[in-house]
């Protein structure tokens, strides 16, 4: 029996010691394999999980509340802190939602740069997944190799926007900067490098590895009906045999012009999902290679021309009085989008990342709802973990690829 006092309060009616064969264990919130602050209360019968209860909220910062108290441009850097593994994807999802609300057309060069950055971030995120997932399962060396390549990708991001993790590399209406001088050639060599390593290191280490297959095959099997009903998206959905990628089905940015495949697996288990991550890295490289010639054909305009909502380029602000006045109003008062609401889904590396924005014509959004893929994947844990063994719990959590900045917001 628990003895509650002020320092050890009574703990949510959980009876850790039971008379029968079952045992309740507390997994996290400080667990190295929980990918952040996830607390799982697991009820075990022998080594089998009979009940799982994911408890979240340890990283809750009130991002949606902050969005209601910030101007639209002010909020953009905060979106970095959602899915901090691939922050450009968050910046982009938010910027796209606001652009849809404003009805702003983004110039083509900005579109090319954005798509490049999104795919680069997808590679960063997937490499991170491979690294941590392998580490959770017990393959230490993959972690080191994958982090080495991820470091090169982050160097590219740093060269472009100056930040490695919290990029803020996309603005509402375009991108802030053109690509630096040798960036494209560095990007090409990075793509070559990742392609080579993918084949010779990751696949060689993992794909046919006996231990890896034993740990992943038929672990965390998710049926297509369950995946749809639980609101799964991204690889969690495609890993269960549902071919749905927002980039393909509801194309945004330049994805309708690009040639790429959507890998699907009908296995529904962790191994199938792992294979999809590897295949998506390949597809991302393919997309980036197609974007490079596209970049050269574009005009140098980087931000949309919409003086009501978006400041003029810096040169114009410095030389023309009206642009300066407009810029001053936009910085101090903020843009006022039309009254209305918008929900825009994008395919982030984790799944469907959408922003619902309700605007009342004020410089502050009336309601911002972040539809985070990881939030729904965490909800899924209470069903998918039941019936599995305690040793597979970490594999399944790793396989859902949840990031807690996004779950708790």
Residue number, 147 or 356, with CB nearest to other proteins: 356
136 is a contact residue toward other proteins (CB under 8 A): no
To the nearest whole angstrom, how small is the minimum distance from the Cβ of residue 150 to other proteins?
27
How many whole angstroms separate alpha carbon 108 and alpha carbon 88? 18
Measured from the CB atom, the residue of 32 and 338 that comes closer to other proteins is: 338
Asked if 183 is part of the footprint of other proteins (rule: CB under 8 A), the reply reads: no
**Angle, helices 390-400/373-384, rounded to nearest 10 degrees:** 160
Among 72, 190, 255, 376, binds other proteins (CB under 8 A): 376
* Nearest one of 83, 94, 129 to 409, comparing CA atoms: 83
The answer to whether 182 contacts other proteins (rule: CB under 8 A) is no
Run of H or E residues at 359: strand 351-359
Taking the C-alpha atoms of residue 236 and residue 222, their distance in angstroms, rounded to an integer, is 8
- 355 sits in which H/E element: strand 351-359
Q: How far is the CB of 153 from other proteins (least distance, A)?
A: 23
Shortest Å, Cβ 65 to other proteins: 6
* 27 near other proteins, rule: CB under 8 A: no
| CA count, 13 A, side-chain hemisphere, 90 | 29
DSSP state of 338: P
DSSP string over 21-66: SEEEEEE-SS-TTSSSS-EEEEEEETTEEEEEEEE--TT---HHHH
Asked if 366 is part of the footprint of other proteins (rule: CB under 8 A), the reply reads yes
**Contact region with other proteins (CB under 8 A), list: 105-113, 134-142, 242-250, 278-286:** 242-250
Taking the mean position of all CA atoms in its chain, how far away is CA 314?
Answer: 31
* Binding to other proteins in span 244-303, by CB under 8 A: 244, 249-250
Backbone phi and psi for residue 93, each to the nearest 5 degrees, phi listed first: -60, -40
If binding is defined by CB under 8 A, does position 341 make contact with other proteins?
A: yes
* Closer by beta carbon to other proteins, 59 or else 294: 59
Report if residue 163 touches other proteins, rule: CB under 8 A.
Answer: no
Q: Give contact residues for other proteins (rule: CB under 8 A).
A: 6-7, 9, 12, 56-57, 60, 62, 64-66, 68-70, 100-101, 226, 228-231, 233, 242, 244, 249-250, 315, 318, 333-334, 336, 338-343, 345, 352, 354, 356, 358, 361-364, 366-367, 369, 371, 375-376, 378-379, 382-383, 408-409
């Amino acid at each position: 029996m628990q003895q509650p006092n002020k320092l050890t309060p009574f703990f949510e009616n959980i009876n850790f010691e039971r008379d029968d064969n079952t045992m309740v264990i507390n997994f996290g919130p400080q667990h190295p394999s929980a990918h952040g602050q996830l607390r799982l209360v697991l009820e075990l019968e022998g080594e089998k999980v009979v009940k799982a209860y994911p408890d979240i909220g340890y990283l809750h910062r009130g991002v949606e509340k902050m969005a209601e108290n910030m101007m639209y441009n002010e909020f953009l850097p905060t979106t970095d802190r959602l899915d901090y593994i691939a922050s450009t994807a968050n910046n982009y999802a938010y910027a796209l939602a606001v652009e849809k609300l404003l009805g702003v057309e983004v110039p083509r060069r900005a579109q090319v740069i954005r798509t490049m950055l999104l795919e680069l971030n997808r590679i960063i995120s997937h490499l991170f997944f491979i690294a941590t997932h392998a580490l959770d399962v017990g393959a230490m060396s993959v972690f080191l190799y994958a982090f080495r390549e991820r470091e090169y990708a982050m160097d590219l991001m740093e060269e472009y926007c100056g930040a490695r993790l919290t990029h803020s590399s996309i603005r509402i209406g375009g991108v802030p900067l053109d690509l630096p001088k040798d960036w494209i050639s560095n990007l090409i060599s990075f793509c070559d490098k990742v392609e080579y390593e993918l084949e010779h290191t990751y696949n060689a280490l993992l794909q046919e590895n006996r231990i890896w297959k034993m740990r992943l095959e038929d672990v965390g099997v998710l049926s297509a009906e369950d995946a749809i009903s639980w609101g799964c998206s991204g690889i969690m959905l495609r890993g269960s045999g549902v071919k749905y990628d927002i980039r393909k089905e509801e194309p945004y940015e330049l994805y309708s012009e690009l040639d790429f495949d959507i890998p699907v697996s009908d296995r529904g288990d962790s191994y199938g999902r792992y294979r999809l991550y590897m295949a998506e890295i390949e597809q991302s490289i393919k997309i980036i290679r197609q974007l490079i010639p596209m970049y050269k054909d574009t005009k140098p305009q980087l931000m949309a021309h919409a003086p009501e909502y978006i400041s003029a380029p810096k040169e114009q602000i410095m030389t023309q009085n009206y642009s300066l006045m407009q810029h001053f109003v936009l910085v101090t008062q903020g843009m006022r989008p039309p009254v209305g609401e918008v929900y825009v889904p994008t395919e982030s590396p984790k799944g469907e990342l959408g922003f619902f924005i309700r605007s009342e014509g004020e410089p502050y959004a009336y309601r911002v709802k972040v539809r985070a893929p990881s939030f729904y994947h965490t909800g899924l844990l209470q069903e998918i973990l039941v019936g599995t063994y305690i040793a597979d719990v970490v594999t399944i959590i790793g396989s859902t690829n949840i990031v807690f900045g996004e779950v708790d917001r």
